[in-house]
Amino acid sequence: MIRRYTFSKEERLTSATTITRLFESGHSLVAYPLKVVWMASPGEHPFPAQVAFAVSRRIFRRAVDRNLLKRRMREAWRLHKPSFYEACGENKVTLMVIYIAREPLPMIQIEKAMVSAINRISARKIP
């Protein structure tokens, strides 16, 4: 199997109803500086996971700062998602990754947190 390190449009979580359902009935975990809310998804999307990224406007007032942090989170996800996809198998998962730190942290810390979160979700048997 060829590993694809891309983040295509179909992998992005954009549905408002799915996001609402995710926050109502999803599981959450914290891998500082990230909080991940996730749930098994019965959807018919072609990828094992759909992901969205969020940074608080209240904490980071400037859009430049929010965009930088979202870009770092997307990059960390893109680099480490193949191992998550292998762990998912045929199951479908919906994830929301939220940046919770009060200051911008370097890419290395965000990447370590993403790896930790991916491993912790993979360790739980996804129904």
- The model's pLDDT over 27-55, given as tens digits with 9 standing for 90+, comes to 999 999 999 999 998 777 888 999 999 99
Place of tokens 């479908």: 92
Beta strands in the chain (DSSP E): 27-31, 34-40, 49-55, 93-99
Q: Show the domains of the chain with their CATH numbers.
A: 29-123 (3.30.230.10)
**Per-residue CA distances from 29 to 6, 98, 113 (Å):** 25, 11, 11
> Alpha helices of 15-62 — where are they, by DSSP H?
16-25
Q: Whose CA is closest to 10, among 50, 39, 43, 68? A: 50
Task: Determine the Cα–Cα distance for residues 9 and 118; give it in Å rounded to an integer.
Answer: 20
Q: What predicted TM-score, i.e. pTM, was given to this entire model? A: 0.92
pLDDT, tens digit (0-9, with 9 covering 90-100), for 77-91 = 999 999 999 988 888
